Amino acid sequence: MVVDELSDESVDRLFHALADATRRSILRRCVRGELSVSRLAEDYPMSFAAVQKHVAVLERAGLVTKQRRGREQLVRTDAEAIARARQVLDELEATWRGRVDRMARLLAQDPEPDDKTPKEG
């Protein structure tokens, strides 16, 4: 089980890579099966080089891996990387649930246990 802390930079790269419709489309297509870069490029209204750059962004974010097959480069999305991104959001939601719990306790007039809330910033 991977419980590593992700560095700010990796999370930056992760979400930045996800913040583009073309890249998300590439991710979806390469979850279903590996595709070469030129195959991918056929279906987008932009140059091959542009698609190549998008794949590079996904690769630096760890969201896809490439593997040579002959002269082709097969792109495949890494489901674990997507899980990593989700984990960041899970933690945010967990904090939120924690806050709701404290609210509930307050409303029930229970004393707060021990506020180990990690400081931010």
Q: Where are the beta strands (DSSP E) in 41-107?
A: 64-69, 72-77
- Close Cβ partners of 35 (under 8 Å, ≥ 6 residues apart): 29, 74, 75
106: contact with DNA by CB under 7 A? no
Name residues contacting a copy of itself, limited to 40-99 (CB under 8 A): 43-44, 77, 79-80, 82-83, 85-86, 88-90, 92-93, 95-96, 99
Taking alpha carbons only, the member of 62, 65, 61, 63 closest to residue 76 is: 65
70: contact with DNA by CB under 7 A? yes
Given the complex with a copy of itself, which of 2 and 108 has the nearer CB atom? 2
φ, ψ for residue 66, nearest 5 deg: -115, 150
Contact residues for a copy of itself, defined by CB under 8 A: 8, 11-16, 18-21, 24-25, 27-29, 31-34, 43-44, 77, 79-80, 82-83, 85-86, 88-90, 92-93, 95-96, 99, 116-117, 120-121
